[in-house]
Amino acid sequence: MPQLHARGVELVVELLDAAEHFEQMPPDHIKKLLRETSLVLGDLLARDVPPERPARTAGNP
């Protein structure tokens, strides 16, 4: 999992750079960056899903 976190940090830097130089970036590079970002973000979110709580029932708040 440290690799996932490290890649997430790298992507943040790449996204900030892309935002500053958007006009000079080829559309295919932007598309690739956004797709990879969505995959890494999805993996991070899946990893951080909180455990499910037992369902509450009447009389058991």
pLDDT tens digits along 10-58: 999 999 999 999 999 999 999 999 999 999 999 998 988 888 877 777 6
Instruction: Tell me what the mean pLDDT of segment 5-10 comes to.
Output: 92
Report how far residue 40's alpha carbon sits from residue 52's, in angstroms, rounded to the nearest whole number: 23
Residue 61 has pLDDT above 70, yes or no: no
Give the number of other CB atoms < 10 A from CB of residue 14.
Answer: 14
Report how far residue 61's alpha carbon sits from residue 48's, in angstroms, rounded to the nearest whole number: 26
Report how far residue 38's alpha carbon sits from residue 36's, in angstroms, rounded to the nearest whole number: 5
pLDDT confidence band for 6 (50 / 70 / 90): very high
- 3-state SS assignment for residue 60: strand
